[in-house]
Amino acid sequence: MRIKTTIVFSLVASLGLASLGFAADGDEPADGRSLAFDRKKGNCLACHAIPSERKAESPGNIGPPLVNMKERYPDRDKLRARIWDETKINPDSVMPPFGRNKILTEEEIDLVTDYIQGL
């Protein structure tokens, strides 16, 4: 049974159907943290340090560290807009437009926004 489950979840991940509520590894429901750390999805650590995460290996320094986010973004919608498409706010940004380019679904952006705002 485990093999069939693994095959199904592998297909779901390869078809970009993670919005069905499962993380790319297929074993656990998707959440903001797992999406933010997933190299095929949010990949926030490629550009940002998340100092509160002890398991974060080789964080990037292209973007600002993700600290005190609730204080920096008390308005959740403003943070979500940046994740959706930072280039609308800063046309020179190198941050990928996760929503516009359909890297993340609406649901996934909401999950990542909640996770990041909680840092």
The pLDDT-based confidence of 22 (bands split at 50, 70, 90) is: very low
Q: What is the Cα Rg of the chain in Å?
A: 15
pLDDT at 42: 87
Is residue 8 domain-shared with residue 42, that is, in the same domain?
A: no
Is residue 40 domain-shared with residue 17, that is, in the same domain?
A: no
Is residue 72 domain-shared with residue 51, that is, in the same domain?
A: yes
pLDDT at 28: 53
Is residue 18 domain-shared with residue 2, that is, in the same domain?
A: yes
The closest of 17, 48, 16, 20 to 116, measured between CA atoms, is 48
Tens digits of per-residue pLDDT, 55-89?
Answer: 666 678 889 999 999 999 999 999 999 999 999 99
Is residue 54 domain-shared with residue 6, that is, in the same domain?
A: no
Q: What is the DSSP letter of 22?
A: B
Report the distance separating Cα 49 and Cα 59, nearest Å. Answer: 5
> 4 lies in which domain range?
1-30
> Is the predicted pLDDT of residue 102 greater than 60, yes or no?
yes
- The CATH number of residue 46's host domain is 1.10.760.10
The closest of 39, 32, 29, 86 to 60, measured between CA atoms, is 39
> Is the predicted pLDDT of residue 13 greater than 80, yes or no?
no
